[in-house]
A and B are shown apart, each in its own frame.
Chain A
Amino acid sequence: MPEVTIETYQQPNAKGYFGSYGGKFVPETLIPALVELEAAYKEAELDASFQHEYLRLLHEYVGRPTELSYANRLTEHYGKAKIYLKREDLCHTGAHKINNAIGQILLAQRMGKKRIIAETGAGQHGVATATACAKFGIECVVYMGAEDMVRQKLNVDRMRLMGAEVRSVESGSKTLKDATNEAIRDWVTNVEDTFYIIGSVVGPHPYPMMVRNFHRIIGDETKKQLFELEQRLPDYVVACVGGGSNAMGIFYPFINDPVTIIGVEAGGLGVDTNQTAATLTKGKPGVLHGSMSYLLHDEEGQIELAHSISAGLDYPGIGPEHAHLFDTKRVSYHAVTDAQALEGVRLLSRLEGIIPALETAHAFAWLEELMPTTKKDEIVVVNCSGRGDKDMTTISAYI
């Protein structure tokens, strides 16, 4: 009998802390909204009809379960462990983000909220939210950094086509961090009738827990599918980490299993430069956007600008649960550069006929390091979090 070395994992605690990270660092005005949200979520979680409706929509509308595809040519390329891809790129709208948007909009509807707001970086969460709002007929305002609106123009057009109002954010670095500030300010002002759909496992409690739970279906399906195909657990699970939602979604169901879990951050121009978004590799604990976690900030505690070629990873923070998993070493985190990510895009496109999102490509880029250390009888699962159509303008400039 192998010894069970990993304790049963139960996070967060009642106050929303994952170890020493998380919490609720928000103005008092938002506390009643968070209390209301937590109560509504707890109730919904135990309500079979809510769960049924959520799963029904994920099936009929999103197209779940997504496939677990054997990547035969990528496997041959490395000549080591077998590589499987969890195909979140096949979700309606092209990325995992919709799992969470559907979950939260159902909750908003249950709570009688009339207006939805969201922040977006790459535009994938904005698109997912706009999609859900169109489907449910609810007013939708999406905050997006002015710079991101340029580099992700296709997604801006998609959101507008579906009836969402996209508000350009001109403050600060004009990217995801500033869009999040603006969304929180809107929420503080319109807290009575507005529901804020946060796009990753960030923000004040209960968001990191709730968003993780709306994405855990990725890991639950993976586990079941791999059992059907291989009658065993994977040896490695790999995902890219921005805020960390696709990663928490696939990691969470494997945390108590003997599986090596790897998160890949955006190194930008390199972790030794100041043009990076590698929060765990380079950051220090601090408070941003409602929770305590690792952050990129200077000696004075001012938030530093992140840099990544991928708008969805271009964020100076990370979800508090990742901070906890990093400190406890349950998950190992690494960074790859913009250039390595582009190489990842090329490789997956050529060998598998799948053009991954730039975010997703970071996970594939790490295979260059990981695969040589694996054995032929092992299995690696990579979360293919989204497809790359939205990034074609950026990618085209390099090919």
Chain B
Amino acid sequence: MMNRIQQTFAKTEDHKCMSLFITAGFPTIEDTVELVLGFEKNGADIIELGIPFSDPLADGPTIQYSSNLAISNGITMNKIFDMVKQIRSQSEIPLVLMGYINPMLRYGLTSFFEKAQEVGVDGLIVPDLPLDEGHMIHDLATTHGINIINLIAPNTTNERMQLADQQSSGFVYCVSVTGVTGARDGSEVQKSVDQFIERSKEHITNNPIMVGFGIKSYEDACNISKNVEGYIVGSALIENIKEHFPKPEWKSEIFDFVHRLKFGYSRGGTRRLTKGSISLKTDI
């Protein structure tokens, strides 16, 4: 049986899959569900819901900021499961939890996976759990039908790419640069990424590839994801929220940003035809 993530890739075969990362509980606990549903309406195909951690060592200043704010807002693991439940009651969008291992360990890994399955989580990304330590969650994830999505970086060897492919389901997450999360200058990312993507495609054959880290616009997304199934945007979205919250109509600004990220033009605007448009199937 195909799960929601696999169904999504089957459905989006003629366009790029856009996954959006948002820290759960940012900018407020009350906003998360509505933001996620709005992202879906404006083009998001997958949602990555970040579990805030006090010491996010793979994240840059933007996600450090949103995580700290969410923690001071009083976010808890149970509140996050509650958000998933609410979203799931209104939407079939694939939901991936992304978080560091310590809060999951503290919750209890067995309880964590049971609860995740119960509320309708589809996948899990743990940035500080490399393949070497993956055995910790592998069996639980399989038992509870949760996809484990592993990350690979430009300095990952071919052998480890193959291992990541074997141990992942749903998709494999290509981290486009060596470094922490954060929006970057598009050309900086583009320079090194093409070769890396080419190599990834050679060694990742079972799973779709999503590329992320540093994407901040529709143009970046088009360029970087031209040869893979899709792209992930996180820090740029959070920056955008940071900029507009809590002005009146801030959500509308954010949804417009999301729409532009996906389609290259504003909501209600006319379609601008770009060469290599992201919604056209390229040579995958």
Q: Which residues on A are within 8 Å of B, measured CB to CB?
A: 15, 23-32, 171-172, 177-178, 181, 184-185, 188-189, 191-192, 284-290, 295, 297, 299-303
Contacts and interface: CB of A to CB of B under 8 A. Distances in A.
B156 interface: yes
Contact of A287 (B56, B102, B156, B160): B102
B103 A25 contact: no
Contact of A28 (B64, B68, B105, B175): B175
B283 interface: no
Interface in B54-80: 54-58, 60-61, 64, 68, 71, 76-77
B34 to A, nearest CB: 23
B151 interface: yes
B55 A288 contact: yes
Of A188, A285, A286, most B-chain CB atoms within 10 Å: A188
A178 B64 CA distance: 11
29 contacts: A23-B132, A24-B130, A24-B133, A25-B130, A26-B57, A26-B128, A26-B130, A27-B57, A27-B127, A27-B151, A27-B175, A28-B131, A28-B152, A28-B175, A29-B153, A31-B130, A172-B54, A178-B55, A181-B56, A184-B57, A185-B58, A287-B100, A287-B102, A295-B102, A300-B77, A300-B103, A301-B104, A302-B53, A303-B55
Contact of B179 (A31, A188, A290, A303): A188
B86 interface: no
B101 interface: yes
A366 B225 CA distance: 61
A299 B133 CA distance: 23
Q: Which of B57, B103, B150 has the most CB of A within 10 A?
A: B57
B107 interface: yes
Contacts of A15: 132
A287 B101 contact: yes
Given A27-B175, A191-B178, 8 more contacts: A25-B101, A28-B150, A28-B160, A188-B179, A189-B179, A287-B101, A300-B76, A300-B106
Contacts of A301: 53, 77, 102-107
B162 to A, nearest CB: 14
Contacts of A188: 57-58, 178-180
Looking at B58, B101, B107, B178, the one whose CB has the most chain A CB atoms below 10 A away is B178
Interface string B104-132: 11110000000000000000000111111
Nearest to B59: A185
Contacts of A290: 128
A24 B132 contact: yes
Interface centre among A178, A289, A301, by most B CB within 10 Å?
Answer: A301
Contacts of A177: 55
A29 B132 CA distance: 13
B132 A31 contact: yes
Nearest to A27: B58
Among all A-B residue pairs, the 3 with the closest Cβ atoms: A301-B106, A301-B103, A189-B179
Interface in B117-173: 127-133, 150-153, 155-157, 160, 164
A301 B52 CA distance: 10
A30 B154 CA distance: 11
B178 to A, nearest CB: 5
Given A27-B130, A28-B131, A299 B153 contact: no
Contacts of B55: 172, 177-178, 181, 288-289, 303
Contacts of B151: 27-28
Interface in B16-71: 53-58, 60-61, 64, 68, 71
B153 A28 contact: yes
A25 B129 contact: yes
A302 B152 contact: no
A23 B132 CA distance: 9
B105 A286 contact: yes
Of the candidates B64, B132, B150, B180, the one having the most CB atoms from chain A within 10 angstroms of its own CB is B132
Contact of A32 (B77, B100, B155, B164): B155
Interface in B91-106: 100-106
Contacts of A28: 130-131, 150-153, 156, 160, 164, 175
Interface centre among A27, A188, A189 (most CB of B within 10 A): A27
